[in-house]
Chain A
Amino acid sequence: MQRFPCPFCGPRDEREFHFAGEAGKIRPTPSAAQSDTDWATYLYEAQNPRGPSREIWVHTPCQEYFIMTRDTVSMEVLGTEQLRKETL
């Protein structure tokens, strides 16, 4: 089994992680006028890159959501970032 790095718990078995979606998609504001195309783009279109891919993942035991950059061909993990903004 592969190990993925949780920014909170460190390296853990891949089966503890869940892929939540591609990173960087911004939901259109429902209160503003949005075209069907805007919604379709947000809901359905995917970057689906062959190679490095920035994605949102959750580590299910600790429920930490974070960004992981992964190579979709080699499965190598290229880095992780916190999604959580530090509150000072």
Chain B
Amino acid sequence: MLLGSVVYITYLDASPLIVPHWQDHMTNKYSAFSLFRESLRGHKGWQPAWRSPKPQAEYDVVIIGGGGQGLATAYYLAKNNGIKRVAVLEKGWLGGGNTGRNTTTIRSNYFHPESVALYEFSLNLYENLSRELNYNVMFSQRGLMTLIHSEPDLEMANRTVNAMQLNGIDATIISRAEVQKRAPVLNFRDDARYPIHGAVWQGRAGTARHDAVAWGYARAADRLGVDIIQNCEVTGLLTEGGICKGVETNQGTIRAARVGSAVAGNSSVVADMAGYKLPIQSYALQAFVSEPLKPIMNTVALSPATGTYFCQSDKGGVVIGGALDRVPSYGQRGNLPMQEDVLSGLLEMAPALANVKLLRHWAGIVDVTPDSSPVIGPTPLPGFFLNGGWGTGGFKAIPAGGTIFAHLLATGTHHEISQPFDPSRFTSGRLVDEGAASGIAH
């Protein structure tokens, strides 16, 4: 999947040479009709999905980080808030951070009402996202099951499901027989170390194509006039009279009335440039994908006992994830101790996969907060705003995170949904402790 984006950028870099010649016949909108028309003329009329402009000297808003959060923020700033002089600065390639490395689980079955307001809003936006962006993000509501392995598990599951139902979320408990019907590849053997008694089920949960979410927002934002600038690393903040006035980058100084940071695992590094500390620790989170198989799994299953979860991509690869590494890290690559843990968990969950070969193994650097909830809000440096702390679960929150961060950057004040996630909660003690409450890492 990462390879795909590299190839894509190469195509874009080469494209300005061919654009003028085809300008009159360019295909802008994606539809069955445009696909048909292009097929008749050798697919020569497709336009680059976004421009590659040189940075201007000044913008209304500069967003640091071209992951899903940054790109969605730019899109909603232009669309909802009418602010179009916006730049997204990405030090590498779009979606090359956690967005292009994640296992794409989307769900809203959180415990606290504050979290449900956020993630359910996001799920609703995902339900219409392909149409909204005119880009197929392949959102597939295949459901998610959190397995129940024991009687105490069942009691906890009941408590969780009750809380979710009170929050209006479509969570239910399903029986062992129903788990088996939906996911026969799971371990129903008599000698299972973690027998399956049932599961917490959210039917509207699912997966989407990670790159497509980044690219879809990038294309839609570009069309609204947003400048997306890749290979542009922010190295410092420009401050005048104690106020943030822009950024220093490897492509020069860029001034901005407001600057937003959406850099996930690098949040502390960027906060350092602003001269303050965050309640964030960076860790590697690893994932794995197998060789393509025929369809064997059409939902997502998570085992709290092993920490492993998996689903199957449309290409057939089994996509496997697990818990965080145990050691703080900025080393964006896999390692063996966690590989052993996650894969032994997978074999306990689905012993039939024992002879399947792994294709790739990678890591992203995630920004973990003490309460496993994001940190969104103003910072001690006026003019500089933060969207971070999404940790292991911010892909599902991209549409909502983008909307509320755009609101914050446009107005300087919180959207009602982001208010509870203001950094001040660590001083007031009003944590939104999802780590403890729902006990789920993602």
A-to-B contact residues, CB < 8 Å: 1-2, 14-15, 18-19, 36-37, 40-41, 43-51, 53, 55, 72-75
B138 within 8 A of A: no
Given known A19-B326, A75-B331, contact A36–B427 (CB-CB < 8 A)? yes
List of B residues within 8 angstroms of A36 by Cβ? 427-429
List of B residues within 8 angstroms of A43 by Cβ? 370, 426
List of A residues within 8 angstroms of B282 by Cβ? 48, 50, 72
- Whole-angstrom CA separation of A10 from B330 in the bound complex: 26
List of A residues within 8 angstroms of B281 by Cβ? 46, 48
B259 within 8 A of A: no
**Taking chain B's interface residues, is the majority helix, strand, or loop, or is none over half, making it mixed?**
mixed
Is there an interface contact between B337 and A44, defined as CB atoms closer than 8 Å?
Answer: no
Query: B49-81, CB under 8 A of A: which get 1 and which 0?
Result: 000000000000000000000000000000000
What is the CB-to-nearest-CB distance from B285 to chain A, in angstroms, rounded to a whole number?
15
List of B residues within 8 angstroms of A47 by Cβ? 268, 277
What is the CB-to-nearest-CB distance from B22 to chain A, in angstroms, rounded to a whole number?
44
List 16 other contacts, CB 8 Å, given A48-B280, A48-B328.
A18-B326, A36-B428, A37-B427, A43-B370, A43-B426, A44-B370, A45-B277, A46-B277, A46-B280, A47-B277, A50-B266, A50-B269, A51-B330, A53-B328, A72-B331, A73-B331
List of A residues within 8 angstroms of B427 by Cβ? 36-37, 40
List of B residues within 8 angstroms of A49 by Cβ? 268
What is the CB-to-nearest-CB distance from B6 to chain A, in angstroms, rounded to a whole number?
22
Is there an interface contact between A44 and B331, defined as CB atoms closer than 8 Å?
Answer: no
B329 within 8 A of A: yes
List of B residues within 8 angstroms of A53 by Cβ? 328
B275 within 8 A of A: no
Is there an interface contact between A19 and B328, defined as CB atoms closer than 8 Å?
Answer: yes
What is the CB-to-nearest-CB distance from B434 to chain A, in angstroms, rounded to a whole number?
16
Query: B321-332, CB under 8 A of A: which get 1 and which 0?
Result: 000001111110
Number of residue pairs across A and B with beta carbons under 8 Å? 61
Which 4 pairs show the lowest CB-CB distances between chains A and B? Answer: A44-B279, A48-B268, A45-B277, A40-B427
What is the CB-to-nearest-CB distance from B428 to chain A, in angstroms, rounded to a whole number?
7
Is there an interface contact between A45 and B337, defined as CB atoms closer than 8 Å?
Answer: no
B336 within 8 A of A: yes
List of B residues within 8 angstroms of A55 by Cβ? 328
B243 within 8 A of A: no
Residue in chain A with minimal CB distance to B327? A19
- Whole-angstrom CA separation of A1 from B249 in the bound complex: 37
Residue in chain A with minimal CB distance to B428? A36
- Residues of chain B in range 388-407 having any CB-CB distance to chain A below 8 Å: none
List of A residues within 8 angstroms of B12 by Cβ? none
Is there an interface contact between A1 and B279, defined as CB atoms closer than 8 Å?
Answer: no
- Whole-angstrom CA separation of A48 from B365 in the bound complex: 12
Residue in chain A with minimal CB distance to B328? A72
Is there an interface contact between B330 and A50, defined as CB atoms closer than 8 Å?
Answer: yes
- Whole-angstrom CA separation of A19 from B277 in the bound complex: 20
Residue in chain A with minimal CB distance to B370? A44
List of B residues within 8 angstroms of A2 by Cβ? 335
Q: Contact check: which of B328, B335, B337, B426 meets A40 at CB < 8 Å?
A: B426
Q: Contact check: which of A1, A37, A51, A73 meets B336 at CB < 8 Å?
A: A1
B125 within 8 A of A: no
What is the CB-to-nearest-CB distance from A23 to chain B, in angstroms, rounded to a whole number?
12
- Residues of chain B in range 243-291 having any CB-CB distance to chain A below 8 Å: 266, 268-269, 277-282
A48, A49, A73 — which one has the most chain B CB atoms within 10 A of its CB? A48
Residue in chain A with minimal CB distance to B424? A40
List of A residues within 8 angstroms of B337 by Cβ? 1, 14-15
